[in-house]
Amino acid sequence: MRSLLALLFLALTAPIALSAPLIQNVAARKTTSLNGPWHIIIDPLETGLGAKWYLNRKPKDKSDLVEYDFDASETLNVPGDWNTQKEKLFFYEGPIWYERAFTYSKHDHTRVFAYFGAVNYRARVYLNGEPLGEHEGGFTPFDFEITQQLHDGENFIVVEANNQRRQDAIPALRTDWWNYGGITRDVTLIETPETFIRDYWIQLAKGSRNQIDGWVQLDGEHSAQQPVSIDIPDAGIKTAATTDAEGRATFHVSAKLQLWSPKNPKLYDVRISSGADTLRDAIGFRTIETRGSQILLNGEPIFLRGIALHEEAPMRGGRAYTEQDAETLLHWARELDCNFVRLAHYPHNEYEIRLADRMGLLVWSEIPVYWDIDWTNPQTLANARSQLQEMIARDHNRAAIILWSLSNETPVKPERLTFLRELSEDTRRTDPTRLVTSALNSAESDGPDRHILKDPLGEYLDVLGLNQYYGWYQGRLEDTDRQQWTIAYDKPLIISEFGAGAPFGRHGEEAARWTEEYQASLFTRQLAAVSKIPQLAGITPWVLMDFRSARRPLPGIQDFFNRKGLLSPTGQKKQAFFVLQKYYQEKESQPPSKP
């Protein structure tokens, strides 16, 4: 009882701890990349912090004792996980200290920020020996202002990256994906005017197809009472507003727009200007809502032909981070005839989201509240809330994203409900225009071959996700197609996971596990069964491509890969790929269901 009260009190009072308000749309700004080789010191005994390695000290003279030397140390590429870069780090979990020197010429009347796309899991960042700050969460961006600490000339930046798993962290101790550690996404220096456009929100108003509602947030001494203009030339929109005392300008403008959709992923060139700062972005406009058990895109019912995927690099393995990785993964999804992807179980890199915007792929984005976590720990809640805010902050102008997912396969218990209800309210407060979901796995038996989903969390969701593994973890393959699910809510349902494991090229009779034939048969039977669910509004089978997991040691079959992919790690298509592709092609050619 005490901890629930503490949780309630914290939920009501705790500020959301962000490293610094996130800078929107980094790619459109004046930047310097710090990608490349960084020196590293592996620190299994956590010596570096106490020994102040962030000072990057050199012996003053021959008697001075300094027991580390970044310049003489080995390197790792940034971005990139360390596990697949060095054999000795394949299973490594703990801190590694990164250092790189760089030259910078400072300009008057400018500010400079260091922006990290992601560091797994916890990062401590220092510039020229001075602490900039910390960040927790392995899949969301963060930035620090470095204007004061930055030298005009030689600089060195040090990052302690620590992927140690903890029960009170998000995710907690157990996951079914590889705990790739390191500076896993781009590191960028951003130069801005003294007062600059830090963030903006430019989307259609909730439920409107011809009213753009938005705001522009300035940052700097002269951010109050400043003129801001927003131009969308292709839509004939030219509007202006003035910032309030907090540097925020809000605007509402009628608009006659081509709406963004998978068939027509129209992105408008949007220009935001204020003072010395001008930004351009490519933004799509669409509405997303539910009506009963239907999902409506731009007012029309849509069936989400999806696939779930991890942010695993195709071909080379490891954490994906390049534009090319995104191209390969999302074009495989398109080849399946998907119009939707579930990016599991954490926010994926911005390249994937912006590519989905361009390709017309709808997106489910999720924070890694995964399986059982420390539900009553106030720090854990604050951490989840901050990851949620960072996820929304980076991608809130992306038309592709329609669903924010709060969690995956979490146990039904009161403290979990309290925790996730808070996150659902946070999400609606921050973004009232998108749908809230979670992947549930709490369907209960409701008699022979019958299952019922009545998870209390459903109350707080717009769309229900259901993970069920009938024919693999539960029941027999041959019984799969006669399974029936009852959903205790008049809400849209997405079957967010089903699947079976089979390494590419392993063949045998249909009933033999680990064969492509078994996997293909399971897909056929599952698709037949779930298609009977009246509330079914979408499917994202598990999973696009085999991915590494330390939970999967079976020699000669898994070898530390989860083999439920429809593609091998090098893109070889398994039989089930074509089963799902055929199902989606038929689904796409069917007339849209009646409203």
Give the interface with ligand GCU as residue ranges (CB under 6 A).
176, 345, 408-409, 467, 497, 542, 562, 564
Residue 572: exposed, middle, or buried by beta-carbon count in 10 A (0-12, 13-18, 19+)? middle
Residue with tokens 């197809």: 209
Residues 6+ apart with CB under 8 A from 87: none
List, in sequence order, every beta strand (DSSP E) within 170-210.
Answer: 187-193, 196-204
Phi, psi of 333 (to 5 degrees): -65, -40
- Beta carbons within 10 angstroms of residue 350's beta carbon: 21
Q: CB-wise, 312 or 462, nearer to ligand GCU?
A: 312
Q: How far is Cα 476 from Cα 262, in angstroms, rounded to an integer?
A: 37
353: nearest Cα among 387, 320, 386: 320
- To 5 degrees, how large is the angle CA 225–CA 229–CA 235? 155
CA distances from 248 to 105, 142, 274, 390, 480 (A): 31, 21, 11, 19, 55
Reduce the DSSP state of residue 577 to 3 states and report it.
helix
Reduce the DSSP state of residue 564 to 3 states and report it.
coil
Q: CB-wise, 97 or 470, nearer to ligand GCU?
A: 470
Minimum CB separation from ligand GCU for residue 497, in Å?
A: 5
Q: CB-wise, 96 or 439, nearer to ligand GCU?
A: 439
Minimum CB separation from ligand GCU for residue 458, in Å?
A: 18
Reduce the DSSP state of residue 80 to 3 states and report it.
coil
Minimum CB separation from ligand GCU for residue 411, in Å?
A: 13
Q: CB-wise, 132 or 477, nearer to ligand GCU?
A: 477
Q: CB-wise, 186 or 312, nearer to ligand GCU?
A: 312
Minimum CB separation from ligand GCU for residue 564, in Å?
A: 5
Q: CB-wise, 121 or 126, nearer to ligand GCU?
A: 121
Minimum CB separation from ligand GCU for residue 546, in Å?
A: 10
Q: CB-wise, 136 or 176, nearer to ligand GCU?
A: 176
Q: How far is Cα 572 from Cα 175, in angstroms, rounded to an integer?
A: 26
Query: DSSP secondary-structure letter at 263?
Result: S
- How many CA atoms lie less than 13 Å away from 270 in the CB half-sphere? 22
Sign of CA dihedral 410, 415, 419, 421: positive
CB 252 within 8 A of CB 177: no
Q: How far is Cα 463 from Cα 295, in angstroms, rounded to an integer?
A: 8
Minimum CB separation from ligand GCU for residue 460, in Å?
A: 20
Minimum CB separation from ligand GCU for residue 202, in Å?
A: 34
Strands 547-548 and 237-242: unpaired
Cis peptide leading into residue 121 (ω within 30°)? yes
Q: CB-wise, 226 or 562, nearer to ligand GCU?
A: 562
Q: CB-wise, 178 or 583, nearer to ligand GCU?
A: 178
Minimum CB separation from ligand GCU for residue 238, in Å?
A: 47
Reduce the DSSP state of residue 229 to 3 states and report it.
strand
Q: CB-wise, 48 or 318, nearer to ligand GCU?
A: 318
Minimum CB separation from ligand GCU for residue 526, in Å?
A: 14
Minimum CB separation from ligand GCU for residue 522, in Å?
A: 13
Q: CB-wise, 121 or 469, nearer to ligand GCU?
A: 469
CB 123 within 8 A of CB 79: no
Minimum CB separation from ligand GCU for residue 170, in Å?
A: 15
Cα 178 → chain centroid: 16
Minimum CB separation from ligand GCU for residue 552, in Å?
A: 8
Q: CB-wise, 260 or 498, nearer to ligand GCU?
A: 498
Q: How far is Cα 528 from Cα 526, in angstroms, rounded to an integer?
A: 5
Cα 532 → chain centroid: 31
Position of minimal CB gap to ligand GCU: 176
